[in-house]
Structure formats: C-alpha cells, structure tokens
Amino acid sequence: MALCDADLIGKRFEEGKCQLELRENFYKDRKLSKEQTIKILRQQSDEDATFNIVGEKSIQASIEAGIITKSCIRKIQNIPFTLILL
C-alpha cells in the first residue's frame, strides 16, 4: 500500500544520497479521509502487506492505526517517511 499526503505528490526531496520522488502515477489514486485511511491500514495489516508511507498526515494516521511506531520514521528534507513489510 502506498500512502502520501496530497500536498506532497509530484514533488522531489533530496538529502545526501537519499531521495524521495513522489510521482503522481505512483501515489495518485484516491483521496481518503483520516478515518478511511486508518480503516484501510488496519485491514491491510491483517494481510502480508508492504507499506510505503510519506508525509506528516499519512504518518500520523499510520501510527493511530497501529501500523508503525515513531521509531520506524525517517526524514528527508524534514519530510517523514517509512517503508514497512509486514
């Protein structure tokens, strides 16, 4: 599952050798409310799933859904992200 804050889609962030390229064709599918996002994250966590999560709002919803903890979060140019395989 790929999840990204809507205001970050289409942007690129670099820091040293690391980069986040938030391509619209990868992340742009549908806009969800926080409640919808949490529900889908919880459903997906019951499956063997990979999560690609970028942005403050998306990270916060993932924490509330119990998918990640703060220790899983990295940042590039102050943009939080995580990659998780359950």
CA distance 77 to 74: 10
Domain residue extents for the chain: 2-85
What pLDDT is stored for residue 12 in this prediction?
97
pLDDT single digits (tens) 65-82: 999 999 999 999 999 999
Residue pair 15/65 in contact by the 8 Å Cβ criterion:
no
pLDDT single digits (tens) 31-66: 999 999 999 999 988 887 899 999 999 999 999 999
**Residue 86: pLDDT over 80:** no
Where does 2-85 sit in CATH, by number? 3.30.1860.10
61-78 exposure pattern, b = at least 16 Cβ within 10 A, e = fewer: bbbebebbeeebeeebee
Q: What percent of the chain has pLDDT over 90?
A: 83
pTM of the model: 0.91
